[in-house]
């Protein structure tokens, strides 16, 4: 006659006595329940059990890093792509409004050249996000270096009085983008199960 059995195993933690500094002791109990139609003599001993499910109460759960829950590289790339495409095509489409906000330009072609370059970076980031495979490391380097370089140029030339102080707002935006890339990289390094 066909026999069968079910095994239930739990690992319970006994609470330590008050004033004791020793860690809580664990009590491991087994119980074997025979299924319908089983032969008691055919039930294997505890040592023959190969699969045991453990339930540990009070074990600390491994939580994900806070940065991992809040931001990742696709989030940062999406924000930077929208920011770069929007500000990059502005001097190409409407010079008058651009100079009204940022100040008059003697060599406006320089502003248009920077606009084209920034737009190209934004389009590349948008393309990477649309593929839903994550942002390649090389493109992340280009994006972070561009944000750092533009922020540095804004701060230096505003300090020298060569450009309008409105560019400090651009420097702050570039700094926020750079911080986003740093948080995304940190969260990626701390991701559970990521190969080292």
In a domain, 143, yes or no: yes
Note whether residue 57 is domain-resident: no
Whether the CB-CB separation of 12 and 29 falls below 8 Å is answered with: yes
84 and 31 fall within a common domain: no
Please write the tens of the pLDDT for every residue from 86-101: 999 999 999 999 999 9
State the residue range of the domain holding 16.
5-48
When divided into structural domains, the chain yields a total of 2
Of 51, 60, 56, the C-alpha closest to 12 is 56
Q: Does 61 fall in a domain?
A: no
Residues 99 and 38 in one domain: no
- Say whether both 16 and 102 belong to one domain: no
Query: What is the rounded CA–CA span in Å between residue 32 and residue 34?
Result: 6
- Check whether residue 72 and residue 160 sit in a common domain: yes
My answer on whether 101 and 11 are in the same domain is no
What pLDDT digit, counting tens, does each position of 7-63 carry?
A: 444 444 445 555 555 555 544 444 445 445 555 555 555 544 444 444 445 444 555
Angle, CA 125 vertex, CA 119 and CA 129 arms, to 5° = 140
- Residues whose CB is less than 8 angstroms from the CB of residue 142 and which lie 6 or more positions away in sequence, other chains included: 121, 124
Total residues belonging to the chain: 196
Q: Are 158 and 167 in contact (CB under 8 A)?
A: yes
Q: Indicate whether 54 belongs to any domain.
A: no
Q: Do both 88 and 20 map to the same domain? A: no
Is residue 40, in this structure, part of any structural domain at all? yes
Most confident region among 12-16, 23-27, 78-82, 190-194 by mean pLDDT? 78-82
Tell me the average pLDDT across 185-195: 62
pLDDT at 182: 93
Within this chain, do residues 112 and 149 fall inside the same structural domain, yes or no?
yes
pLDDT, residue 150, reads 97
Cα distances (angstroms) measured from residue 183 to each of 18, 74, 117, 177: 43, 12, 25, 10
């Amino acid at each position: 006659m066909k026999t069968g059995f079910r095994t239930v195993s739990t690992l319970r933690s006994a609470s330590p006595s008050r004033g004791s500094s020793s860690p809580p002791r664990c009590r491991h109990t087994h119980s074997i329940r025979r299924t319908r139609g089983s032969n008691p003599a055919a039930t294997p001993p505890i040592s023959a059990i190969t699969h045991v499910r453990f339930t540990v109460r009070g074990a600390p759960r491994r939580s994900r890093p806070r940065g991992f829950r809040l931001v990742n590289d696709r989030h940062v790339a999406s924000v930077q792509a929208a920011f770069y495409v929007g500000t990059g095509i502005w001097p190409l489409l409407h010079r008058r409004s651009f100079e009204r906000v940022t100040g008059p330009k003697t060599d406006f072609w320089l502003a248009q050249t920077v606009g084209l370059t920034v737009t190209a970076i934004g389009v590349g980031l948008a393309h990477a996000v649309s593929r839903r495979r994550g942002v390649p490391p090389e493109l992340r380097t280009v994006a972070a270096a561009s944000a750092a370089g533009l922020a540095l140029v804004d701060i230096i030339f505003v300090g020298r009085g060569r450009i309008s102080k409105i560019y400090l707002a651009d420097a702050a935006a570039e700094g926020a983008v750079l911080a986003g890339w740093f948080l995304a990289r940190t969260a990626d390094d701390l991701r559970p199960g990521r190969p080292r």
